[in-house]
Amino acid sequence: MSNALLLRLFTSEFFNSWIAVSYLFRYSDNVGIQHYLCNELKGFPISEIEFFLPQLIHLLITKPSESVALECFLIEMCENSTHIALMSLWYLQAYLADLSTNPASPSFNLCKRLLNRSQAIVFSEDSDEDDDEEEDAGPSRYTEKVREHALPALVGMGAMLLGIGQPLMTKPAGRIAIAQGRRNRNLSITSSSNTTALTRRNTTEDATSSPSAANGKDQLKAPLPSSTHSSYISTSQPDLPLPHHSKKKFNPFTSSPSLEDLHRGKAFSVGRYIKNAHHKLNRKMMMNEVRKSKSSSNSLSVFDPALTALGQSSVPTNTAPLSPALSQCSADMDIVVTLDEQDSSDQEHQKQQQKEEQRKQKRKSRQSLLRSNYFRSEMQFVLALVDIATRLVMVPKEARMSALHAELTLLNHNLPAEICLPLWCPATAEKPHHHRVVRISPSDAVVLNSAERAPYLLMIEVLDDEMNFENDDYNSALYRAARRKHANRKSIMSTSSSTTTTSSVSMVTENEDDKRSIAPVKVTVLNTNDSSRRNSRSADDYAERMRTAAVMLAQLQPPNTAAPYKQNTEQIRQRIIKEMIALEEQRMQKMKTEGVSSGVGGGGGEGAGGDMLEDEQRIAWVVNKEDPSAAVLSEDWETKKARLRQASPYGHLPNWRLMSVIVKQGADLRQEQFAIQLIREMQRIWEDTGVDVWVKYFRVLVTSDSSGLIETLKNTISIHSIKKDAYTRGWNEQGAVFTLYDYFEKLWGPPDSDDFIKAQDAFMRSLAGYSIACYVLQIKDRHNGNLLIDEAGHLIHIDFGFMLSNSPGSVGFEMAPFKLPQEYIDILGGVHGEKFAEYKALMKAAFLAVRKHSENILLLTEMMSKDSKLPCFQNGDLTVPQLRDRFQLQLTEPQAEEFVDKLIMSSCCNVFTRLYDTFQYYSQGIL
């Protein structure tokens, strides 16, 4: 297509983000088109950019080219959106792990450089703000200088000449010339001679050196996160080269919070973070002054004196700033930055100008610090969740629930904090109000059934629109509220060490008592007969003991234990686990005998105590040791939310909200995210075309190549759990098989009732949608453990580890286009029933609609297929043609409808479907 025709298309009313991304992919080697389309993409909503983010990053990493347009676009998006910055950082980390076996490749170099630039944006407080070379480099202080490059120079000179006759053309052409002019230093897609090794450097908050700025002309500066134990990627000092065939997983940014910080409640402390950043900046300034032979008295600190006072304060500041509403009930609060008050109003004009300049610097510094602290807290929080799943694998299955409750109680001690969950947080650059994670309910978490790993379900309480580090007035008000709160705390602590249950001050005192009792942690067995503790197993006592156990278990993990002491350590570890199990059983027994007044309910000791309201159903699922995950998922979401809201110290606030996620470790969730993305696009196509089929979209947050968070599907239960529960309760007739049709009758009444008809209709529409999705995407491993039923009767598919071209164990049992067993047909009234006929009609309409817009599905798949490490692309270049063939684009619409009829008949009671279900029953016990 000629440039003129392309320009007509790009300026037409039909131009959208799909066309922009499509032509970015098609013309990845055309510098001009790349720059034009990336500039156009900036005008689309952030939500659309987030949708395409996996494809854009994959395209950039796997197809290095002469153009730097896409790289500059992604960097700018990271600067504009904190969520995109975080997700890009996690994606790039996963790609770097994939490419670590070939560090000499252009893709590795590009990924490493982009990772460092993203890291510089995230941890911006560590950059050399006094570096004159960076200040004038461009819109971003991390931008490279323009170097010698012939072609961009010619374009730039041409733009200058063009400006004589067409002044408006100078600016866009000049931007391209300048951006490409930096490429000579930034990118080399043919030579690997300058490749630097991946390094991992651990630093502590008491370190005496900072990342070297030496050799600045040949490297991109990569600031460090200011965390207790952190590591980063260096582009200049290859101290620890990564082996070409290293199998060890790594995290190039930061590690999870230290045990000391967790049990002291300082893991996400903004006060300590500011103190460290202030110390680093002063050290850098001193080094620069020595190097430049300048007097330190001539330099201006960009830090507010209030920040310095905060960093040096002895008042514990273990949480992030809270809103005025939250300040009435919060536990520990951190003091945030504020503007320095003017000394007097009668200063000379020159001094006023200097003060105004200092004010601007302080405001900019404050915003930068708050953003950096947000990023640091966010990453450490996610890593802490993932590390819990890692440690749970080492704990015996019977003790995992107790260990999980202990770990989360310890983590909960560090909340509220400046943390949100990106995919679930609606904040944008235009509306920068983030939600804030304020509490986790420890005893409402549950370890899910898994053969090799220990994923767990988590209940997270957040306050919407609680966090904003861009607005001055907002943060200043928070600062004043925080100062008043900490003054009250000091006066209370000086007069009483007891706790009450009626005010926010009592919560602060309670947390301080917890800190004092937990601080002297030693590797000894739990003393359950300590006379200094209360005899009753109250919520506070339980939380304290379990928190101590979590710290002790973490200290006894194999990497922390010297070889000569491993045997003794294992004995101590087993003894602690037995004590944890005993403590949990005592707590459950006390709940059964004394009821909710025992004060050991689901509050987890974090301010709830005896106020928890729990009924016998709640006790039943907690005590259920055989399948706790099925029990917790069976509780109605609204009931659960009301119960937790009443128990939470933040539940009375109007912006309180409950979220639920599943934390997974040891699994690459990029394929899961990719499958959900394709199903989401099918859902959008059906909505736009008016086809009334139903599929469920849920969020998947990739945090590394082996971990992530998955949104919990509310009010759902797997078909396996339905049947298992039915056999346990004896719902089936003697010797008869319990089917899904029996469950529909049991839950929604006889087939002619209104409730049954509504559930039947919901099931039919969801079955049609997922049938098309399973056929087109070749989704396999469709056993009853991966199929859910919700409260309305919808069928929902989960776990997309096998799709497109791979199958479980390469067995190939699932030969049917999609799963349509007899029990599904029975729910629809049989093959001659009206609902089955409606199902067939919906199938045809859904297939024709998605077939008409197949280019969207093909584009997303083709962009992800090149050099992909995802298992679904194991057929390589054949994957996309095979996907295209399944759309049957060569057929007319009547022929396509006949083809759908054949798919349905081929899937009805397919013998391979029954064979695979039988295989899963005998191999995994799945009903």
In a domain, 371, yes or no: yes
pLDDT at 923 over 50: yes
Rounded Cα distance between 852 and 688, Å, is 12
| Residues 194 and 303 both lie in one domain | no
Q: What is the pLDDT of residues 265-281, one digit of tens each?
A: 666 666 666 666 666 66
Average pLDDT over residues 100-108: 87
Q: What is the pLDDT of residues 837-873, one digit of tens each?
A: 999 999 999 999 999 999 999 999 999 998 888 999 9
pLDDT at 228 over 70: no
* Res. 472 pLDDT band, cuts 50 70 90: very low
Lookup: tokens for 437: 């994670």
Q: How many domains, the chain?
A: 3
Average pLDDT over residues 696-705: 92
Q: Name, of 284-293, 536-545, 881-890, the range with top average pLDDT.
A: 881-890
Sequential DSSP letters for 233-250: --SS--SSPPPTT-----
* Res. 636 pLDDT band, cuts 50 70 90: confident
What's the pLDDT score for residue 477? 45
- The three-point CA angle 509-512-515 to 5° equals 155
Sign of CA dihedral 273, 112, 104, 58: positive
Average pLDDT over residues 784-797: 92
Rounded Cα distance between 927 and 921, Å, is 6
pLDDT at 54 over 70: yes
Average pLDDT over residues 454-461: 90
What's the pLDDT score for residue 583? 72
Residue 489 phi, psi dihedral angles, 5° rounding? -60, -45
Average pLDDT over residues 77-91: 89
* Res. 442 pLDDT band, cuts 50 70 90: confident
Give the total residue count for the chain. 927
Average pLDDT over residues 112-119: 87
* Res. 708 pLDDT band, cuts 50 70 90: very high
CATH number at residue 745: 1.10.1070.11
Between these two residues, 765 and 63, which has the higher pLDDT value? 765
| Residues 108 and 195 both lie in one domain | yes
Rounded Cα distance between 925 and 688, Å, is 41
pLDDT at 443 over 60: yes
In a domain, 212, yes or no: no
Average pLDDT over residues 425-437: 81
| Residues 301 and 378 both lie in one domain | yes
- The three-point CA angle 855-667-255 to 5° equals 115
Average pLDDT over residues 602-629: 41
Average pLDDT over residues 559-566: 56
Rounded Cα distance between 520 and 238, Å, is 39
Q: Could you tell me the CA-to-CA distances from 592 to 406, 589, 614, 618, 729 in Å, in that order?
A: 21, 5, 11, 10, 21
Cα radius of gyration rounded to whole Å, the chain? 30
> Which amino acid is located at 791 in the chain?
E
Residue percentage of the chain with pLDDT more than 70: 59
Between these two residues, 36 and 574, which has the higher pLDDT value? 36
Tell me which of 167-171, 344-348, 623-627, 741-745 is least confident.
623-627
pLDDT at 86 over 50: yes
What's the pLDDT score for residue 68? 83
Tell me which of 59-73, 143-157, 316-330, 502-516 is least confident.
502-516
What's the pLDDT score for residue 212? 36
Average pLDDT over residues 667-673: 91
| Residues 778 and 867 both lie in one domain | yes
What's the pLDDT score for residue 18? 92
| Residues 733 and 634 both lie in one domain | no
pLDDT at 223 over 80: no
Rounded Cα distance between 696 and 682, Å, is 11
Question: Under 8 Å CB-to-CB from 110, ≥6 apart: which residues?
Answer: 60, 61, 64, 71, 187, 189
* Res. 316 pLDDT band, cuts 50 70 90: very low
Report whether 78 contacts 84 (CB < 8 A): yes
What's the pLDDT score for residue 95? 92
What's the pLDDT score for residue 539? 56
Rounded Cα distance between 388 and 402, Å, is 12
Task: Work out the burial of residue 893: count CB atoms within 10 Å of its CB; fewer than 13 is exposed, 13-18 middle, 19 or more buried.
Answer: exposed
What's the pLDDT score for residue 675? 94
In a domain, 788, yes or no: yes
Last residue of a domain, one of 172, 202, 232: 202
| Residues 455 and 552 both lie in one domain | yes
What's the pLDDT score for residue 300? 42
> What is the three-class DSSP state of 390?
helix
Q: What is the pLDDT of residues 594-606, one digit of tens each?
A: 554 444 444 443 3
Task: Work out the burial of residue 925: count CB atoms within 10 Å of its CB; fewer than 13 is exposed, 13-18 middle, 19 or more buried.
Answer: exposed
191-218: b or e for each residue (b if 16 or more CB lie within 10 Å)?
Answer: eeeebbbbbebebebeeeebbebeeeee
In a domain, 374, yes or no: yes
Task: Work out the burial of residue 229: count CB atoms within 10 Å of its CB; fewer than 13 is exposed, 13-18 middle, 19 or more buried.
Answer: middle
In a domain, 169, yes or no: no
Q: What is the pLDDT of residues 817-830, one digit of tens each?
A: 999 999 999 999 99
What's the pLDDT score for residue 621? 39
Long-range contact set of residues 27-30: C-beta below 8 Å, sequence gap at least 24: 28/59, 28/63, 28/65, 28/67, 29/65, 29/66, 29/67, 30/67
What's the pLDDT score for residue 303? 44
What's the pLDDT score for residue 265? 65
What's the pLDDT score for residue 149? 57
Residue 238: cis peptide before it, omega within 30 degrees of 0:
no
Percent of residues in the chain assigned helix, strand, coil, to nearest 5: 55, 5, 40
| Residues 319 and 418 both lie in one domain | yes
**Which secondary structure element, helix H or strand E, spans residue 103, and what is its range?**
none
* Res. 376 pLDDT band, cuts 50 70 90: confident
Lookup: tokens for 879: 């994957």
Residue 438 phi, psi dihedral angles, 5° rounding? -110, -20
Task: Work out the burial of residue 42: count CB atoms within 10 Å of its CB; fewer than 13 is exposed, 13-18 middle, 19 or more buried.
Answer: exposed
| Residues 617 and 755 both lie in one domain | no
Q: Could you tell me the CA-to-CA distances from 590 to 401, 499, 529, 538 in Å, in that order?
A: 17, 23, 17, 10
* Res. 762 pLDDT band, cuts 50 70 90: very high
What's the pLDDT score for residue 423? 87
Rounded Cα distance between 648 and 461, Å, is 9
What's the pLDDT score for residue 771? 94
Residue 117 phi, psi dihedral angles, 5° rounding? -70, -40
Tell me which of 161-165, 258-262, 826-830, 864-868 is least confident.
161-165
Rounded Cα distance between 489 and 500, Å, is 14
Question: Under 8 Å CB-to-CB from 879, ≥6 apart: which residues?
Answer: 804, 805, 861, 865, 872, 873
| Residues 651 and 764 both lie in one domain | no
Q: Could you tell me the CA-to-CA distances from 839 to 351, 558, 751, 825, 897 in Å, in that order?
A: 78, 55, 17, 10, 13
What's the pLDDT score for residue 626? 52
Report whether 850 contacts 688 (CB < 8 A): no
Of 304, 279, 436, 275, nearest in space to 367 by CA: 304
What's the pLDDT score for residue 726? 86
Question: How many Cβ atoms sit within 10 Å of the Cβ of residue 665?
Answer: 22
Between these two residues, 555 and 378, which has the higher pLDDT value? 378
| Residues 54 and 141 both lie in one domain | yes
The region that residue 607 occupies, defined by phi over 0 for left and psi between -120 and 50 for alpha, beta otherwise, is left
In a domain, 614, yes or no: yes
| Residues 335 and 434 both lie in one domain | yes
Sequential DSSP letters for 475-534: HHHHHHHHHHHHHHHHHHHHH-----SSSHHHHHHHHHHHHHHHSS--SS---TT-TTS-
What's the pLDDT score for residue 560? 52
**Which secondary structure element, helix H or strand E, spans residue 187, and what is its range?**
none
In a domain, 166, yes or no: no
pLDDT at 391 over 80: yes
What's the pLDDT score for residue 582? 75
Tell me which of 202-216, 316-330, 745-759 is least confident.
202-216
pLDDT at 535 over 80: no
Last residue of a domain, one of 660, 682, 704: 660
Average pLDDT over the chain, rounded to whole?
71
Q: Name, of 112-116, 486-490, 682-686, the range with top average pLDDT.
A: 682-686
CATH number at residue 75: 1.25.40.70
* Domain interval for residue 431: 263-341+354-660
* Res. 164 pLDDT band, cuts 50 70 90: low
In a domain, 225, yes or no: no
What's the pLDDT score for residue 694? 95
| Residues 521 and 642 both lie in one domain | yes
